[in-house]
Amino acid sequence: MQDFWLRLSAPVIFGALFGLLLWAVFSATAGLIFVLLVLLVVMIVNAQQLYALSVWLKKPNLEELPEGSGSWDEVFSQLYKMVRKHIQTKQDLAAELLHIQQATAALPEGVAILNDVNRIEWFNLQAEQHFDLNPEHDVMQDITYLVRQPEFIEYIQAANFTDPLMMRPARHDETILSIKLIPYAGNKRLMISRDITQFERIEAMRRDFVANVSHELRTPLTVVNGFVENLQDMPDLSKDSARRALQLMAEQTKRMENLVADLLTLSRLENDQSTMSEEVVDMNNLLNNVLSDSKLLSQEKHTLRLELASSNKLLGNREDLYSAFANLVGNAIRYTPEDGVILIRWFERAGQPIFSVQDTGIGIAAMHIPRLTERFYRVDRSRSRETGGTGLGLAIVKHVAMRHQAKLEVLSEDGKGSTFSLVFANKRIKAE
């Protein structure tokens, strides 16, 4: 500090001393004039430095720092360091802000910042998509002017954000959003939106599944319970009537047993994330077993034929493959009238192994085909129940196909029969 003031006052001090010398040698006027000239020069130099500093401060440029003389050189040097530090800090903050924006943009949730009067200060890409926001026009707009659903406006105005709001956006009929507001930093609010469409769809499927299982189990239980009560109330029941009642109870019990077995199979296929145990499956042997068991199910009411056009074996899980094949043939039997023909084939097409079941049954309307693999979805509910179907067969087939990287193909025409095919990848072929 002292050094600074010394350098600043040095020209004036030396000028005053030389002016006193002139005063002593020549005259007082000469001395005063010299001192005044020195002061004038100092003022002009300082004014030039101040002007240069003022111009530079309006638009600081680290590459074009003004040249300073004397004490001004140190001033300019210190200002240069300060500005450089400020610019670096600003750049660091901008980089951090960019990182935060990139991170929030990558979030699966929508994020928007609202001020104390519900105006949007900032939002990420997901929020833009959820609420159809425009980053060029909607910043600092009232969110209730842009999202006009009554339930959303009531949620905002109520200011009770304990529970999230479930809402369908105006332009996305199929989308369901979960919206939650989190107060922070005084009166500001963080609005988080999450697309829960898939979750709600799964939850609806779960509710339907529970309801369907309950219904499917309740019906045979009601039948069995009714017969038990009748038997208890009829001590003189004839042997024929008792035999008939026991037969019907046995059928309903078998129906429940099949349902539970299919539920367990489906649960295992859906929940088993471990690597599937595989073996080389002898398709000749496996399909002959499927044919034999299917004939028992048909009770000689249909003509079943097996066509083995390929001798190749298949890499897969024998138990799962049997379950899928048996379900496809069983469905063909249930939906094919008596004296119908069911053809079971094992062949290759373009190097891909294919298992197919072709029937001459009632066929399936095109509107039903996309939903066939849904659990408990039936084209003809009464017929399926009459023949002992559980409504889970094609769901099991779908999961077996997925575990074997296979594709289920369905060709059908209402009233003209159907063909169900499992198309496997050629890498699963094991040559004889």
HEC states along the chain? CHHHHHHHHHHHHHHHHHHHHHHHHCCHHHHHHHHHHHHHHHHHHHHHHHHHHHHHHHCCCCCCCCCCCCHHHHHHHHHHHHHHHHHHHHHHHHHHHHHHHHHHHHCCCEEEEECCCCEEEEECHHHHHHHCCCCCCCCCCEHHHHCCCHHHHHHHHHCCCCCCEEECCCCCCCCCEEEEEEEECCCEEEEEEEECHHHHHHHHHHHHHHHHHHHHHHHHHHHHHHHHHHHHHCCCCCHHHHHHHHHHHHHHHHHHHHHHHHHHHHHHHHHCCCCCCCEEECHHHHHHHHHHHHHHHHCCCCEEEEEECCCCEEEECHHHHHHHHHHHHHHHHHCCCCCCEEEEEEEEECCEEEEEEEECCCCCCCCCHHHCCCCCCCCCHHHHHHCCCCCCHHHHHHHHHHHCCCEEEEEECCCCCEEEEEECCHHHEECC
The reported pLDDT for the residue numbered 249 is: 74
206-271 domain in CATH 1.10.287.130? yes
Output the tens digit of pLDDT for each of the chain's 432 residues.
Answer: 455 555 555 565 665 665 566 566 666 666 666 666 766 666 766 666 677 667 766 776 655 666 656 566 666 677 777 777 877 788 888 787 777 777 777 777 888 888 888 898 888 888 888 888 888 888 899 888 888 888 888 888 887 888 888 888 876 667 888 888 888 877 888 888 888 877 777 676 666 666 666 666 666 677 677 767 766 677 666 777 777 777 777 767 776 766 677 667 766 666 665 567 788 889 899 999 999 988 888 888 899 999 998 888 889 888 889 988 988 998 888 888 888 999 999 999 888 899 999 998 888 888 887 877 776 666 665 555 555 566 677 888 888 888 888 999 989 888 888 999 999 988 887 766
Determine the pLDDT at residue 246: 73
pLDDT score at 311: 85
Q: Would you list the domain boundaries of the chain? A: 2-89, 107-195, 206-271, 279-430
Residues 6+ apart with CB under 8 A from 328: 355, 357, 393, 397, 420, 422
Q: Tell me how many degrees the CA angle 114-140-154 measures, rounded to the nearest 5.
A: 50
Q: What CATH architecture is 279-430?
A: 2-Layer Sandwich (3.30)
Domain 107-195 in CATH 2.40.50.140? The answer is no
Q: What is the pLDDT of residue 12?
A: 58
Single-letter code of the amino acid located at 117: V
pLDDT of residue 269: 66
What is residue 424's predicted lDDT score, i.e. its pLDDT? 92
Looking at residue 288, its pLDDT comes to 92
CA distance 161 to 156: 8
Say which residue the tokens 């019907």 belong to: 248
The whole-model pTM stands at 0.51
